[in-house]
Structure 1
Amino acid sequence: MTSTFVRACAVALVLMTAATGCADRPATGTGTGTGTGPRPEVSDTERALLRHTEQVLVERCMRAKGFSYRAGARPTPDESLTVGYLLTDAAWARRNGYGSRIAARVLAARKTDPNPLYVDGLPPERRAAYRRALDGGAGARTLSVEAPGGGTIGRRLGGCEETAQNRLYGDPAAWFRAAKTATNLTRLYVSKLSRDPEFTSAQAAWAACMRRAGHPYATPSAARDALPTSGPEATDFAAEVRLATAEAECAGSSGFARTGTALERRYVDGLRGEYGDELDAYARLEHEALVRARSLT
């Protein structure tokens, strides 16, 4: 599974989201599934394919019901990467900095999304029918799961959204339970991980590398906070690229990325006694969905 230390879409210290697309990300674990052996790690690009395929299936379903729906373009590999607490891909950083231009394109696309414009143009009765066709409306079933560490996560599922998830994941309820468990384990270990002596030592080595490169920041978040977000300097993309590239290069040369990922794996493995079934189910269902997605699109 992809490391939430390196690429994450969550909250808290080790999971600071940056500019690119955001979706559920599992904690790093060693789940293999029953009798299958280790599975290859699922990439950001592959997860983007899953999200896009689901939207394509919704589009096909809605059109069959007589409504317009646009899935949009499939994200490029650069658009698919989500920057977590630590940026590690130096080549991506040289092209995109921290992803500010990608984020700007995403926001611009949302403003011209044809789907809400289409819905706004429907008469009230057709608008209600559209909602029922899309997600089941008020009569849709509700899925819920107890989140690790407390609280309940729920969502309504019906209509073409349920049809699409059935095609892609086979069992939407099982996928929801596994995904929401696997992607919310971080709250159970992030505080301990961030105080772990191995983590703090590796981060200090990264900071020393950054100082030698002319960027005196103790943490990746401190470096990003130093970037101007308003005024003329906010448009200095070259400065963003320089800082992001230094962060990624130091992540590798200092060993910070390697140490952080190994520590996260260790902490997640410590939770497998309680959550191993969900981690294994997440890995199995995601890989099965990838096979379907490649054939469906």
Structure 2
Amino acid sequence: MSDRLPGHDPKIINAVEGLFAGDGVRYAAAEELIYRCMTGKGLPYVKRTAPGQDVNPTLVADSYGTPLSEASSTGYRAKEHLQTSEDGDSSGVGRLSEKDRQRWGDAFFGRDGAPVVSVTLPQGGTSETSSDGCLSEARVRLFGSLEDWLKWSTFAGSFAIEAQQQAGADSRITALNRRWADCMAEAGHKGLKDPEAAREVAARGHVLHGIGSDEAQSKEVELATADAKCDSAIGYSEKRRQIEDEFYATGLLKHESDIALLREMNDRALAEARKI
């Protein structure tokens, strides 16, 4: 059972997480296939570490609702978020010559002008990807076809984002944000439209004054404490989570047949991944 989003309906969250069931194994297998392909072309490639859990990367922790006990001691932990980063060049591509960087890009992503695969998405709109390169070869091996991978992986990745956007436009959340903003203004923090804006202000403070500076941290804690008190006063987090869960549930029901097809593809790919 997922515990990444406390306060939400666990059944609904688990169902949304389930769109990525088995993803860790598939990810590791894809990295192995890409490694074989790239090194087979005489190019460097360091495999990225697969996630330890099958989590939906777009179903992130709530950007609101920090408990008062945490807010008054550590704020939003903005410093930690700013300092968290991955090595985006673990394979050392940046150290290659210009000619070899071009070779690396062509081998990994596909050559310019290679045929493009395009699909229509269940939510509407289209998505496309190159049919060439080690990345595409790995996806074909695992998922059977680039069309299936592109359609259903894009659907899964955008599912939570779409539900969150729809919830954010709901008049009930708009009203909640107004009440929260009024409360924050009364506490001396004017001009903030929603809790996300408060977190942005806290992060900018660390950039302005230096990450980890006492001044930035003090201002962050003050802001987060006021946020937590306003949240509690109007029941912001509880109400917003209920509304967001409604939209997750509606999406799960609306796309029930699409989700079944996604799971069939993922199960087939998982079986192939375990062989690799």
1:164 is aligned to: 138
Aligned ranges 1:214-293 → 2 under 5 Å: 219-227=194-202, 228-232=205-209, 234-236=211-213, 238=217, 254-256=237-239, 258-269=241-252, 272=254, 275-286=255-266, 289=269
Describe the superposition over 1:61-112 as per-residue Cα deviations: whole angstroms up to 9, x where unpaired: 212333211124446779x7874663568799999945654554426x23x5
The answer (yes or no) to whether the contact 2:110–2:132 under 8 Å persists in 1 is yes
1:57 is aligned to: 33
SS in structure 1 opposite 2:127?
strand
Aligned ranges 1:109-120 → 2 under 5 Å: 109-110=87-88, 113-117=90-94, 120=96
Distance in 1 (CA, whole Å) between partners of 2:113 and 2:160 is 33
1:174 is aligned to: 148
- Displacement of 1:172: 2.9
- Displacement of 1:174: 0.5
One-letter amino acid of the structure 2 residue matched with residue 169 of structure 1: F
Instruction: Select the structure that is richer in helix.
Output: 2
Distance in 1 (CA, whole Å) between partners of 2:263 and 2:70 is 26
- Displacement of 1:242: 8.1
2:126 aligned with 1:152: yes
Aligned ranges 1:81-92 → 2 under 5 Å: 83=60, 86-87=63-64
2:167 is aligned to: 193
Distance in 2 (CA, whole Å) between partners of 1:214 and 1:49 is 50
Q: Which runs of 5+ in 1 are unaligned?
A: 7-28, 31-37
2:8 is aligned to: none
User: What TM-score, normalized by structure 1, do the two folds share?
Assistant: 0.57
Aligned residue pair count: 254
The equivalent position to 2:45 in structure 1, one of 69, 73, 80, is: 69
Q: Which runs of 5+ in 2 are unaligned?
A: 6-10
Q: Structure 1 235/135 Cα, relative in aligned 2: closer, same or farther at 3 Å?
A: same
User: What TM-score, normalized by structure 2, do the two folds share?
Assistant: 0.61
- Displacement of 1:54: 2.7
2:85 is aligned to: 106
SS in structure 1 opposite 2:119?
strand
The answer (yes or no) to whether the contact 1:97–1:242 under 8 Å persists in 2 is no
1:22 is aligned to: none
Distance in 2 (CA, whole Å) between partners of 1:203 and 1:262 is 17
The answer (yes or no) to whether the contact 1:148–1:187 under 8 Å persists in 2 is no
Larger Rg: 2
Distance in 1 (CA, whole Å) between partners of 2:178 and 2:125 is 35
- Displacement of 1:59: 1.4
RMSD (CA atoms): 5.2
- Displacement of 1:282: 2.8
Distance in 2 (CA, whole Å) between partners of 1:214 and 1:145 is 50
One-letter amino acid of the structure 2 residue matched with residue 144 of structure 1: S
Distance in 1 (CA, whole Å) between partners of 2:74 and 2:144 is 38
SS in structure 2 opposite 1:143?
strand
Describe the superposition over 1:264-296 as per-residue Cα deviations: whole angstroms up to 9, x where unpaired: 1244257x2xx5443333344345545665x47
Distance in 2 (CA, whole Å) between partners of 1:95 and 1:53 is 39
